Amino acid sequence: MFRHKPTVSLLILHCFLAVGYVTVAAKADVDSLQGKPIAGCSFEDSQCVYHVNLGHHGTCDTTGKDGDTVLMKLVKLQNMLLEQSLLTQAVSMKYDNVTMVIQKIRSALNSLDAVTRHELQPLLQTVISANNATRAELAPVLTRLQTLEKEQGNVLLWLNRIENERAQLLLKVDASSKVYSSCSEWKRNGHHQDGHYLLDVDGKGGVQAFYVWCNMTSSPPTASIGHDRGLRTKTVGYEKVGSHICKVLYDVTMRQLTALMSNSSNCKQYFKYECHGALINTGGSGGQSTWWVSRDGENMTYLPGGDPKLGGCACKRTNTCAGGHECNCDMNDLTWRQDEGYITDVSKLPVTELRFGDTGNAGEQAYFTLGPVECEN
């Protein structure tokens, strides 16, 4: 009656946990992205060979804490799925059993005479309502299971962290690995190809070296750091202001990221909000329905591209927002509109959390896209 999908899920997780399969699994998933920028970083001769563009569709619930290692997160997720799958099996078996009993009673009733049938009717009603109760018990369990299954999407995202952790280990093993302090320095030393390069941004003794994506084509070269919200993601069904909470987990630690930023000349991060009846500013003293949270946990009152003093979105700077509002999305007219721009204030970067709302009523929905942190480096 109900399929027990977790069995399959667990198998997949076991594969992920066996380190030997990690790269294969990542590649298979990457191939399935089709046409999207290729995600993941595979090390061949300790060189990273493809670009990382992380992120996923769906919910923003994550398993584990920021400080957890990838394996800790995987183990937690695996345990949750196991527990959940046992629970689902128990409840749905109970449901199936009672359903079977009901069918048996029904067919027994049909073969009885009218009087007996009439007498037994209340008993059947009792059994049916007990079954209904079991079904009600099953519903939230299945919902939770679906959430957990979505969580598995995050596994792919954590792989990039594994790659970085592995890079650190490789570095320890192979002390001869070359490392420079910036993309520009790599370029000056003859590396003109875009790719993943190992940087030790603050020299010996500071933060550990880490991989960044160097765009050597741009001038000066830029270093990009990705995160787990890299893909265009839908937000729908969250009416209350800021009630859809998306934490952003970066591919390197916050200390490494801030070290990179303080060693770079200009840094920025792109954000786009495509809205359909989902406004950003609620108007009056209602504050914002959608906002971002800075590195230090501050709720930011302007949208990326907007003026920190003026507030609002990029269009506000030139007074060109639809309907003369603070943002194009504030038009709130069930027409697809969008606001986009870069955050350039290094003291606030990176975006650590996104908060969305006003997507709970009929027809209301939105998509958001958060770019990597890009620094001239």
Ligand X SMILES: *[C@@H]1O[C@H](CO)[C@@H](O)[C@H](O)[C@H]1NC(C)=O
Positions in the binding site for ligand X (CB under 6 A): 93-94, 97, 125, 128-129, 132, 181, 194, 202-203, 215, 217-218, 242, 263, 265, 297-299
Instruction: Judge residue 250's burial from the number of C-beta atoms within 10 Å of its C-beta, 0-12 exposed, 13-18 middle, 19 or more buried.
Output: buried
Q: Give 174-180 contacts, CB < 8 A, sequence gap 24+.
A: 174/46, 177/46, 179/209
Cα gap 375→377, rounded to integer Å: 6
In the three-class reduction of DSSP (H, G, I as helix; E, B as strand; rest coil), residue 305 is classed as: coil
Least separation in angstroms between CB 155 and ligand X: 25
Cα gap 42→23, rounded to integer Å: 7
Least separation in angstroms between CB 14 and ligand X: 27
Residue indicated by tokens 């406004």 = 279
For residue 308, cis peptide bond before it (omega within 30 degrees of 0):
no
CB 226 within 8 A of CB 54: yes
Nearer to ligand X, 213 or 250 (CB): 213
Q: Tokens for 205, please give them.
A: 């003794």
Nearer to ligand X, 46 or 243 (CB): 243
Nearer to ligand X, 15 or 93 (CB): 93
Least separation in angstroms between CB 94 and ligand X: 4
For residue 68, the Cα-to-chain-centroid distance in whole angstroms is 16
Residue indicated by tokens 């390069």 = 197
Concatenated DSSP letters of 108-172: HHHTS-HHHHHHHHHHHHHHHHHHHHHHHHHHHHHHHHHHHHHHHHHHHHHHHHHHHHHHHHHHH
Least separation in angstroms between CB 219 and ligand X: 8
Least separation in angstroms between CB 129 and ligand X: 4
Cα gap 29→23, rounded to integer Å: 10
Nearer to ligand X, 313 or 346 (CB): 346
In the three-class reduction of DSSP (H, G, I as helix; E, B as strand; rest coil), residue 276 is classed as: strand
Least separation in angstroms between CB 375 and ligand X: 9
Nearer to ligand X, 24 or 123 (CB): 123
Nearer to ligand X, 39 or 77 (CB): 39
Least separation in angstroms between CB 74 and ligand X: 30
Nearer to ligand X, 12 or 128 (CB): 128
Least separation in angstroms between CB 40 and ligand X: 15
Nearer to ligand X, 20 or 35 (CB): 35
